Copies of this chain bind each other. A is one copy, B any other.
Amino acid sequence: MPTENIYAEILTIGDEILYGQITDTNSQWMSAELDKAGFRVARKVAIGDTKAAILQGVTQAEQSVAQVVLMTGGLGPTKDDITKTTLAEYFGSPMRLDEGVLANITRLFAQRGRTVSPTNQLQAQVPQLCQVLMNEVGTAPGMWFERGGKVFVSMPGVPHEMKWLMANHVIPRLRQYFATPVIAHKMIRTINIPESTLSDLIEPWELALPPHIRLAYLPKMGQVRLRLTGTGNDQATLEAEMQAQIAAVLPLIQKNVYGFDDDEIEKTVGRLLVQTGHTIATAESCTGGYVAHQLTQWPGSSRYFVGGIVAYSNEVKMSQLGVNAATLAAHGAVSEATALEMATHVRQQYGASLGIATTGVAGPDGGTPEKPVGTVWIALAHAQGAEARKLQLSSERALNISLTNNSLLNWVRLWLEQAGA
């Protein structure tokens, strides 16, 4: 298999990125896709909508190590958008009308009950030298140029159009043009374990990985995704090798692995609830509705999510959740006893087979020496009884809400995999 890197450069065209008005998620997504396809991004450049900046950007990219130059932005129908004419000038190509692109524009306009204006017709003009990448989800086509063994692609900056073109044209063509090796990816999704602990746990395995299987740690709010990228000559052999590696590492971290590839913890819990025939109800204090929101953000959640209570005040904890005044007086709202009563009552009251609860000091205020900010109790009630666990989290409110949700849902996952199965 080839061992030489094929380098790429990403050139983002548009003032809004330069002035910090929007986050450049396009180039991050493109970087990750190129990386997955076996290309190495050597440089990312963002420039404004001026002819001088675009010409300089393409010139420097062509002179660089990059063999692939992916450009986004500046392809709209208005006068501000000058990428196409500038590229035509750069490559010394006259323009031509592309009938296929015009038909595509006409079709898209017809869908919205509109006719094509002369300004919009201009979007069907393309440099003669380029190959058109038909954009079925938007009016601006992608354009593919080749010169001196290098490839230059121009795409619209609209994220869903760029992504469609990347998936349907650009990545497949690049892999063919550069005859890249077979690539495979596997994602292991972990929760509730810090990156450094995870890294220590799997170090021997990681160090023993063969050179054609690379590992990346992708952390976000209390979760770390482990991405394996393998390169080889044969898809089936490579996939089998990677599955063997995953089988080797899983026993070390099983408790913290909630899923693979596109799974999310809420989706995993939802799937397990459906599989085991359980339903769930939530009683939330410190998370204030966040757990219910997480469970209901995916389609199909009405099959297992019955409903929930957000009990912020002690009065509501008593009147709506049946928490005893004596419990609150003796132990306080942030306590094992309160968490247990919340989970037990919401389960009964909502007629769900599982009840889950959160009560804690999310912060930044409200901490005491005994119960500092970040002290949280979570509880899980089921037909056999109820259990509670104490968490000691951070000083940040938003992080505490998210980490409480992670801990609770991962607990439900483990419970469903064992007792619930």
Contacts and interface: CB of A to CB of B under 8 A. Distances in A.
A360 to B, nearest CB: 12
A364 B297 CA distance: 11
B31 A20 contact: yes
Interface SS majority for chain A: mixed
Given A41-B19, A44-B46, A297-B288, A309 B312 contact: no
A57 to B, nearest CB: 8
A69 interface: no
B401 A297 contact: yes
A186 B394 CA distance: 33
Given A289-B290, A397-B297, A18 B46 contact: no
A320 B322 CA distance: 13
Contacts of A28: 17, 20, 22-24
Interface in A11-36: 17-25, 27-35
A313 B302 CA distance: 7
B18 A299 contact: no
Contacts of A310: 282, 289, 292, 296, 307-310
Contact of A53 (B23, B42, B313, B320): B42
Contacts of A316: 306-307, 350
Interface in A307-340: 307-313, 315-316, 319-320
Interface residues of A, number: 73
A115 interface: no
B45 A43 contact: yes
Given A289-B290, A289-B296, A315-B351, A20 B32 contact: yes
B17 A44 contact: yes
Interface string A329-358: 000000000000000000001110000000
B21 A32 contact: yes
Interface in A267-297: 282, 284, 287-293, 295-297
Nearest to A41: B18
A144 interface: no
Contacts of A33: 20
A248 interface: no
A265 to B, nearest CB: 16
A47 interface: yes
A51 B309 CA distance: 56
A60 interface: yes
B307 A311 contact: yes
Given A43-B18, A302-B313, A293 B295 contact: no
Interface in A62-103: 64
A221 interface: no
A365 interface: yes
A250 interface: no
Contacts of A372: none
5 contacts: A24-B24, A42-B47, A45-B45, A289-B310, A306-B316
Interface of A: 17-25, 27-35, 40-48, 53, 56, 60, 64, 216-218, 282, 284, 287-293, 295-302, 305-313, 315-316, 319-320, 349-351, 363-365, 397-398, 401
